[in-house]
Amino acid sequence: MCIFGASGHGKVIASILLANKLMVKGFIDDNPKASNLMGLPVIHSKEIKNIAIEKLVIAIGDNKIRKIVSEKLQNEFNTVIHPSAIICKTVKLNSGTVVFQNAVINAEASIGSHCIINTGAIVEHDCVLGDFVHVSPNATIAGNVHIGEGTHIGIGACIIPGISIGKWVTIGAGAVIIKNVPDGAVMVGNPARNIKK
């Protein structure tokens, strides 16, 4: 498997693949100066056509860029789960999603494509996350929450049960969401308020 993105995020995904005893061929990146990361080769993205890649995972934390890259690439994307993650058997995980160390996803949750469920994040029962959502470390999403495409839930944020969050929203670190959030909002504080002008 190859990792698209030679960055800190890529390092963590490589460590998840290695924890699953999977072979990592290397990283693919646009940075011409990078030639090696974690002892693995970095291949320039222009050379991607010259190598045999069966499976690929995108290691780009920025949700918009991850979406653009996924639409340009014509590869099969793998779902990657760290062995320490706890995922109920009734959870639906779509392609390209990565679940980091000690994350928990509970019953009947549905996670879109190319999502990031980061270290120690909790997604409770019956939640629905759209494509390209990033749930940061230690964020907690209570049951029956719906989150739209491209939304970023910041480190340590909390969302109470039954909330709907729109598309391409930014939830700040430590924010507490107690009411529905419209598309494109930037929410900070406790209780969270929209600071986007």
Residues annotated catalytic, as ranges: 125
Query: How far is C-alpha 21 from the chain's CA centre?
Result: 21
Give me the residue label for tokens 């749930």: 135
DSSP 3-state of 117: strand
CA distances from 4 to 34, 87, 138, 185 (A): 13, 25, 25, 29
Q: Which residues of 100-137 are buried (b: 16+ CB within 10 A; e: fewer)?
A: bbbbbbbeebbbbbbbbbbbbbbbbbbbbbbbbbbbbb
